[in-house]
Structure 1
Amino acid sequence: MPIDTSERVFEREIEYCLTHLGKKSQRYIKGNPKDFDRALALDGKMLIAFVQDTQPDKWQAIVRRHGAEAAAQSLLHRVGIELDKRGAIDCLRHGIIDIGVEVRLAYWKPGSRMNQSALALYEKNRLSITRQVKYAMNSEHSIDTVLFVNGIPVVTMELKNPIKGQTYQDAIVCNTKKTAVLVRSCCPSRSAPSCISPWIPTRCG
């Protein structure tokens, strides 16, 4: 039987390790590439689920202001605007405001385990991994693997195989081009996710 030397094997291994190994509370969620909003550069389904789960009162306030049918898209649009203006790190740290409603986009690890309510919210952060993310508005090109924190992309991965004569330098060049297109597709002023990251987020510590 011939050995599969494609990058997709590496993708599957990374996905399996992050979604199956380690403590259950620290495992990643397997994302669906169809949930990625190319215009906003977000996994909208994951972000809305996080808000509904951790801030139900804030979600209901947004529904009252925008209406049930428009609430999700209106919130995602606001998040996209804030990401364009402030960048992902600032939005994850400080959240956003949508028509007077303060919404957290992540919960950070509390200083001690004594505050059980803060710890419970921290453990509800949704870390996800999505493979073959189509990012451009005018093509079907895809990024091999993207890591998200509550639907917001923070790491992109371009995988290469040395058997085919490719090195990490080829991955850097390719990924830099793709993330540049991703950023231009949603907003020229938005900073790109980390494409050469020395860390993989485990929790928002």
Structure 2
Amino acid sequence: MADSREGQFQQDIIDAMVAGGWKAGTASDFERASALYTEDLLGYVKEAWPDRWEKFCKANPQAPEQVFVKKVVRELERAGTLEVLRHGFKVPGVTFDLCSFQPDHGMNPDSLARYRANRLRVVPEVSYSPHARENGKGGESYNPRLDLVLFVNGIPTATLELKSQFKQTVENAKRQYRQDRPVKDPITRKPEPLLTFKRGALVHFAVSQSEVAMTTKLAGKDTYFLPFNRGTAEGGAGNPSPVDELSYATAYLWEQVLAPDAWLKVLGRFLHLERKPVEDFHGHRTTKETLIFPRYHQWEVVNRLIQGTLAEGPGRRYLVQHSAGSGKSNSIAWVAHQLANLYAEDGTKLFNSVIVVTDRTVLDSQLQDTIYQFEHAHGVVCPITRDIGNQSKSEQLADALASNTRIIIVTIQTFPALFDALDKRPHLAEATTR
């Protein structure tokens, strides 16, 4: 059976990830103050963008590497990890992308080369605090350590706390995050860069040999974890027992979700920052920010739909059953966006437009906000919810289809306008629209 000792559990995970394409790192190469694995950050930029790096060095002849790292840290603190990974940043005269996501098709060899230049690294036993001390006030030492930290091109993306099933459960890992992984130094109250919301790692996994939980925001005792389990064949909570007695019930985490291509896709096309206005009892308005990471069932259903469409082509029907509160809106947004960017092997686009029919009028703004984070482009989503001026819903829809608007949203009430649009412009029915 699989080894129940925590040290062996950790090593088994690292070995599996390295076999799958990750690089193994050492904690001594992690820079606590910047929360970066700078070897990979600089290595990726030099390999993926040699011309831009040369231009940057000419503009910064004195210690260009140190200058570059400082600029990256400043941008992480300003815009956050997800924004920097997804859209890069600008310095005078040069724009740097710090991560290359898988191209929609293989027609551009330069894009493929940059994608292959990505450096994914797993680092064990990371003492991460720049405020560590042997003897603090009251004689207490402070040097918190994480079991695993995952980096993409030197930028932290995830942390993991592991617990062996023999002695402890996933609840012990959650408790460790809540009690022993403060986001600020308990004495100085200075922030811990690696664990700071938005600026540091994007998700934190509590992992045992039988269950996984995750959170995108550490907040001490108020940290809220969501299960990241597959569910059993009978529809119950948790995970099924592994078929292979030498494996673990939670192996899907590092074998599937954390596989290099899958992890880069999560960073590029799943994670997003949700902003909602909230008002307290006194009428003070603020904006609540929540970093949305897909639950396992969401991640699985989106990928299965996309893979099924690629394998079987347009025109198929699929039924997805979701329970209440399971994140249907986000699943719809992820599927719609990825279908709208789907290409066949020969580089032809599979769909001219993707039409979303919903009974929720709030979905149009949610879809637009979510997709804008992926692409920073307006006009990708067109909601058809009411007449505008002298233009009816059917006319709006016909125009959206004719202009190949990538995602079109109609409510159940306005859905009949689709048939009116096709009656008025029959040639639109010849396009590939789903």
Shared fold by TM > 0.5? yes
The two structures have a TM-score, normalised by structure 1, of 0.85
Aligned to 2:181: 178
Contact 1:156 1:175 in 2 (8 A): no
Aligned to 2:54: 60
Deviation at 1:189, TM superposition (A): 6.8
Residue 79, structure 1, aligned to residue 78, structure 2:
no
Mapping of 1:53-202 within 5 angstroms? 53-67=47-61, 70-139=63-132, 140-164=143-167, 166-176=168-178, 177-178=180-181, 180-181=183-184, 184-186=191-193, 190-193=198-201, 194-196=203-205, 197=214, 198=228, 199-200=257-258, 202=260
1:52-110: per-residue Cα shift (whole Å, max 9, x none)?
A: 11111111122112225x11111111111111111111101110123332111001111
Deviation at 1:141, TM superposition (A): 2.7
Matched position secondary structure for 1:8: helix
Contact 1:144 1:157 in 2 (8 A): yes
Q: 1:93 to 1:141 in 2, by over 3 A?
A: same
The CA distance in 2 between the partners of 1:179 and 1:30, in whole Å, is 26
Identify the range of structure 1 (47-56 vs 110-119) with the bigger mean alpha-carbon deviation. Answer: 110-119
The CA distance in 1 between the partners of 2:4 and 2:64, in whole Å, is 45
Contact 1:6 1:161 in 2 (8 A): yes
Contact 2:17 2:259 in 1 (8 A): no
Identify which of structures 1 and 2 has the higher relative contact order when contacts are C-alpha pairs closer than 8 Å and 6+ apart.
1
* Sequence identity (%): 29
The CA distance in 1 between the partners of 2:44 and 2:169, in whole Å, is 37
Aligned to 1:24: none
The CA distance in 2 between the partners of 1:185 and 1:92, in whole Å, is 20
Matched position secondary structure for 2:260: coil
Aligned match for 1:33, one of 9, 27, 31:
27
**Alpha-carbon RMSD:** 2.3
Matched position secondary structure for 1:184: coil
Q: 1:146 to 1:80 in 2, by over 3 A?
A: same
1:22-76: per-residue Cα shift (whole Å, max 9, x none)?
A: xxxxx001112111111111111110000011111111122112225x1111111
Identify the range of structure 1 (91-100 vs 121-130) with the bigger mean alpha-carbon deviation. Answer: 91-100
Flag structure 1 segments of 5+ consecutive residues without an equivalent.
Answer: 22-26
The alignment covers a number of residue pairs equal to: 195
The CA distance in 2 between the partners of 1:33 and 1:190, in whole Å, is 22
What letter is aligned with 2:260?
Answer: T
What letter is aligned with 2:191?
Answer: R
Identify the range of structure 1 (180-189 vs 74-83) with the bigger mean alpha-carbon deviation. Answer: 180-189
The CA distance in 2 between the partners of 1:181 and 1:158, in whole Å, is 18
Larger radius of gyration: 2
Deviation at 1:201, TM superposition (A): 5.4
Q: 1:86 to 1:173 in 2, by over 3 A?
A: farther
Contact 2:122 2:151 in 1 (8 A): yes
